[in-house]
Structure 1
């Protein structure tokens, strides 16, 4: 039995507070070649289950919030329940795939079962097929979720062998047993807290740095208390979602970076800013300053921690400069914005909060952690998350994965969210919208593509030659040091 971290528990509880809302994350992996049979696909996934213990566990709430929810073995686990199969209507293009994605992600995962589903989708144009992975945010963040592809898929066309499996579910604890276990944890918590504090005190420089960063970041993050200007991008949400996506390439981002300066994150956020500008204008709204404040997740994972199945993120708040029409000036403004946010240490303030939360009684800190992540959702316009995916091609039963497209959930009053994912030299933008109030998600998608094309054109006018395509490593590596911003990419000069 494993305890959820306070942040993972907050994602579960936030969903409870919003009837009908699903806080599952997702992505689409598109494959070339014939679609595999259901039994063939089932056998392959069954051979990987020992490598993903969470896939055979379910979440249990602890009585009276005495502790965070816990992961327990699902005694009635049935793999067939989690493997779904469907087909697109003709012609099986982007629009049909996006419509299906919106419908799948509108439904909540069953809390009485392990919180994931895989959908095998037939009928894509060009003889392709897709795999949609749907996983609750309380189980993984964007980086850990994307890393699961390295477990489920193969690095070469030759399918890898399955893993020996002798799994037998441990007996599920009764409510009384669960309460006693949590009471025992509470009894030992003061000793654990004292030990953790003693370790920190032995390193006064580290303690001082954390304190300074927390104060500086807390002051900067206080802007979350200031409401954003009213626009059609915020308001009440329905339970259903719309979805769209846009495409670019790592090579295009590299071309822009080399000619116009900035990080990988700066360039993609400038393109997203252009997309929101186009969306507002299409709705007859003036794109002015301080109109779009984005929640930007920041990974707290150290290099090599991608495979830890948990949530390890903080966040920054970024006011996107949608008022700037010139693409080069817009990129410069985005670059200055993220340079300032890094200097203000907003993400570090969140990191300190989560460290403290891990050593306090859950009953005491749960409302605070939930409020910390719930409050910004009522004073932001959107969420934008950027995750680095696999740099080398992956395969399923010998079929090559040709692209990966991400999905980010939206909640509270945020009607539109954007996620970005790199894979094998490709870059995809996934746009999630509220079904009733964001029927124009494809306008945002096209605006992002246009914004990127404008940056590439400006870079080439400045004498930067086109970067060769098909170089998955270009612009991808994240150098040690620095924070990963927008959910995954490091906000340093290398990314």
Structure 2
């Protein structure tokens, strides 16, 4: 029995029918590499054999009575692969638009909390001859790094090679605790919280003082609650829109080398800013001040807290959407991001996780209902415009249950007030961009995906030639 960390549990508490807290992905596979040939039945058998040996795929939630503490993970004694694996076919002509529409529909359906919090859908009928796999995992059980690791354990370096070893997966206890045991553990946990709170107040106060000093010196990261408003910065609905883009990783690296002090992530953010500028300007919705992005940062390997899946922090970054020149935008982003990283590195890696321990289901649930019901996201200050995440990917070809992965598009959650998520993953020489947004606010999200390609070419021409 493992209790969810406060940060893991907060994604459960923040969820509603509109604000869905799962992360998705779309894998495009080449079925011709599967030893013995591809068939859905063989895919199903191979997947079932593999996930039954991986505890993270078989654990489900067990709530604590009266919700006085975070839920715990227990093994699903009735695990059935057919509750998690589905089969679909895209309608004719089977192109990107049809695939994106089907994936967007599935992304708008919540996961069943009475089962392990993941699903996969095999999608056939693509005109390219490829097979797509749509994955959905709740954020309570994965973050960017751990989600990529869970997919990796189903992958290999050759079609007929054994799966990758990405580290031991903690076993899930077969013991299912009773209500009295959970209640006792929950009471003990709550008794200790006042002391934990006192212990955290002093370093947090010191941290705030140093942040104010950095702000005065001009070396602090961008501040939340200072973002301009756009069409996708209001209340969201449960309807989703999805689009994909493929960028040349070699061109991105050439741009990085051409700009002193820049990083690949700086280039990605600059391309994102330029793409958003193009998209919003074409719709007369471009603010005069820069859009503000929330950029998740992994603290895996830095956190001293044991247990829990989500080990992340956040950097806020201005995207330079108010700057027309792509080279000037990149230069300013690189400078600002250097300050933001230094500021972030001065913050203890465990800060967000420690404060999240005080997350309360009733309080979070009430807050979400208030934001939605009173439409506070449309009236108050905008915290941030969107989330942009860069997830490290494999530098070599990978095979998913024997099928070569041609592309992997990650898709993160969206929130009231920030109805767009852009997540990128590098893989075998390409940068795959997954965009997901509220369909009612971003009905033309495919146009935004095209702007990413156009902005890369413009930035490449301006820096490399």
TM-score range, shorter chain: 0.7 to 0.9
SS in 1 for 2:125: strand
Which residue matches 1:490?
none
Distance 1:380 1:396, change over 3 A: closer
Partners of 2:229 and 2:382 within 8 A in 1: no
**Larger mean Cα displacement after TM superposition, 316-325 or 50-59:** 50-59
Which residue matches 1:487?
none
After the TM superposition, which residues 441-456 of structure 1 pair with which residues of structure 2 at under 5 Å, given as runs? 441-456=445-460
1:392-424 CA-to-partner distances (Å, cap 9, x unmatched) read 211134321111111111021212221111111
Aligned equivalents of 1:343, 1:420: Cα separation in 2: 23
Aligned equivalents of 2:209, 2:361: Cα separation in 1: 22
For residue 109 of structure 2, the aligned residue among 92, 98, 107 is 107
Partners of 1:314 and 1:347 within 8 A in 2: no
Count of aligned residue pairs for this structure pair: 436
Which residue matches 1:243?
242
Aligned equivalents of 1:212, 1:366: Cα separation in 2: 27
1:148-190 CA-to-partner distances (Å, cap 9, x unmatched) read 2220122212142899xxx997253333332123335556779
Distance 1:279 1:384, change over 3 A: same
Which residue matches 1:289?
289
Using the TM superposition, give the Cα deviation of residue 37 of structure 1 relative to its aligned residue in structure 2, in angstroms: 2.3
1:282-328 CA-to-partner distances (Å, cap 9, x unmatched) read 211234224x11111111112899xx871000112222210111111
Aligned equivalents of 2:134, 2:99: Cα separation in 1: 10
1:115-172 CA-to-partner distances (Å, cap 9, x unmatched) read 1001111122221111111100010101111122220122212142899xxx997253
Using the TM superposition, give the Cα deviation of residue 364 of structure 1 relative to its aligned residue in structure 2, in angstroms: 11
For residue 408 of structure 2, the aligned residue among 404, 409, 416 is 404
Using the TM superposition, give the Cα deviation of residue 212 of structure 1 relative to its aligned residue in structure 2, in angstroms: 5.7
Which residue matches 1:27?
25
**Larger mean Cα displacement after TM superposition, 35-44 or 260-269:** 35-44
Distance 1:304 1:380, change over 3 A: closer
SS in 1 for 2:140: coil
Which residue matches 2:435?
431
After the TM superposition, which residues 179-190 of structure 1 pair with which residues of structure 2 at under 5 Å, given as runs? 179-185=183-189
Structure 2 residue runs without a partner (length 5+): 166-170, 372-376
SS in 2 for 1:294: strand
Distance 1:317 1:346, change over 3 A: farther
Aligned equivalents of 1:304, 1:392: Cα separation in 2: 28
SS in 1 for 2:321: coil
Aligned equivalents of 1:364, 1:136: Cα separation in 2: 16
Distance 1:397 1:69, change over 3 A: closer
After the TM superposition, which residues 249-264 of structure 1 pair with which residues of structure 2 at under 5 Å, given as runs? 249-261=248-260, 262-264=262-264
Which residue matches 2:44?
42
SS in 2 for 1:47: helix
Using the TM superposition, give the Cα deviation of residue 274 of structure 1 relative to its aligned residue in structure 2, in angstroms: 0.7
Which residue matches 1:482?
none
For residue 61 of structure 1, the aligned residue among 48, 60, 63 is 63
Aligned equivalents of 2:164, 2:42: Cα separation in 1: 12
Aligned equivalents of 1:94, 1:304: Cα separation in 2: 40
Partners of 2:409 and 2:425 within 8 A in 1: yes
TM-score for the superposition, normalised by structure 1: 0.79
Aligned equivalents of 2:264, 2:163: Cα separation in 1: 36
**What do you get for the CA RMSD once the two structures are aligned?**
3.4
Which residue matches 1:94?
96
Using the TM superposition, give the Cα deviation of residue 63 of structure 1 relative to its aligned residue in structure 2, in angstroms: 2.7
Which residue matches 2:157?
155
Aligned equivalents of 2:229, 2:253: Cα separation in 1: 36
Distance 1:389 1:347, change over 3 A: farther
Which residue matches 1:335?
334
Which residue matches 2:374?
none
Which residue matches 2:272?
272
Using the TM superposition, give the Cα deviation of residue 25 of structure 1 relative to its aligned residue in structure 2, in angstroms: 0.4
Distance 1:81 1:286, change over 3 A: closer
